[in-house]
Amino acid sequence: MTRSSAPLRRSDVVSLVDDDDDDVSIVSTSQGNWRTGGHSGFVFGSTEDLGDADVSESEGDEEAIQNVEFYGIQPTALSDRLLRYQDTRTRIGEYPSPTVGIRLDCRQYLHEIGSRHRRDPIARATSILQRSSWGITDPIVDDGTAIASNWTRRGACQVYNGFPLVEDVEFIVHRNNPPQDPDGDCYWRSVAFCLYGSDEHWDVVKAEHLGYMYHVLSQPRHPRHYLYSKHLNSRFFDTSSVGSPSFKANIWQLLHLAHAWTPAVVSQITADLYNICVIIFTLENGTAAETNVRGVYNSRHIFMCFTNGCHFQPMTPNHYDAWEFRYPRITIDATAKYVNAPKATSAKQTWEHPWRKEFSSTVLPPVPRLHGCDVEELRKFLGSKPRT
């Protein structure tokens, strides 16, 4: 079923295909850190590379992460500027987290970027809290209506094909640059487009990520606690915002900052939070340089592209219903022809494919989530008495 109207124009994306018959395996560039430049925050600040460590390893065997400097960042005039918001004097050796605190001067950051709130922040926060997974807002529309009304407005999108493994599939790619809003929230807007049909609820998406991150980091027995605390949250990223030079912050800090560019490793949290499969194509001057897939395959698939090192854009299939479309299974044989993938002679199994993991040895199993409800009301339904 065609989702676009006739004026939509198709552009071709070039996939990097490996024509070399050498038997040496080519490791995907997405296997390690996403080291794309620009304001995206993909360059890690720490000198420690945790790489492809097994997230099930014993924590007791780890050495202290922070040295006499600031998490391995050597003192220079540049590092002083990059760390200008960081608390480098208290809780030394402890990463910013729910139990340690944010360890960052939010007031200085807000003063430096200038106020960009067009509405009363307290009223806006109240409005956000009134929305939940029970239903975002009225009117609620399904994906088909959202694609027809919000994705394909004239001038709002383009049609591309040529992406790895789906070269013949056309995708509607939304520009995702609302002129009335500040930059820095393109990742959250992209996720909101894919989940809720428009970018209007990007703030809810970011708030849900913060809440889930708080839950995981606060629960040492949570299945994702080791991955999040020792890998995702233990790195400092180069990030920025409109009106502010670049600076360093970890994931917990970034989730508290208004309009700060978001690192792509957050896609692992997105996949865990919503139990979805997130496919991100990295585009550099019209070439699909990387493919990264996070989450389990047997779940809803959403698509985004990261363009020219600075901008996330949501994608949806043009001739297929988005809720019925899945990315092809990623196997060694299927991806062997691409430059950024292992060769067909590689001994890696499908669940070990570098496109699908970054901090773990294999694809991680999903973690079930309980959606919120009023516990006291639930007790009434079950016939038990509330605690006094």
Would you state the pLDDT for residue 33?
Answer: 24
Query: Using an 8 Å Cβ cutoff, are 30 and 174 in contact?
Result: no
Would you state the pLDDT for residue 25?
Answer: 24
Domain ranges of the chain: 10-382
Q: Rounded to an integer, what is the distance from CA 108 to the centroid of its chain?
A: 26
pTM of the model: 0.78
Query: Using an 8 Å Cβ cutoff, are 147 and 197 in contact?
Result: yes
Say whether pLDDT at 65 is over 50. no
E-strand ranges in 229-332 read 237-241, 244-249, 276-284, 287-294, 300-307, 311-317
In which band, very low, low, confident or very high, does the pLDDT at 40 lie, cut at 50, 70 and 90? very low
The CATH number assigned to the domain with range 10-382 reads 3.90.70.80
Distance CA 277, CA 258 (A): 26
In which band, very low, low, confident or very high, does the pLDDT at 59 lie, cut at 50, 70 and 90? very low
Helices (H), 104-155: 106-113, 121-129, 143-146
In which band, very low, low, confident or very high, does the pLDDT at 71 lie, cut at 50, 70 and 90? confident
Residue pLDDT, tens place only, 311-332: 999 999 999 999 999 999 999 9
Residue 117 structure tokens: 């709130």
| Burial of 32 (C-beta count, 10 Å sphere; 0-12/13-18/19+) | middle
Helices (H), 251-374: 251-254, 266-274, 332-335
Nearest-Å Rg of the Cα atoms of the chain is: 22
Say whether pLDDT at 237 is over 50. yes
Looking at residues 115-140, what average pLDDT do you find? 55
Say whether pLDDT at 146 is over 90. no
Looking at residues 95-108, what average pLDDT do you find? 90
Looking at residues 42-69, what average pLDDT do you find? 34
List 44's β-bridge partners, or say none.
Answer: 237
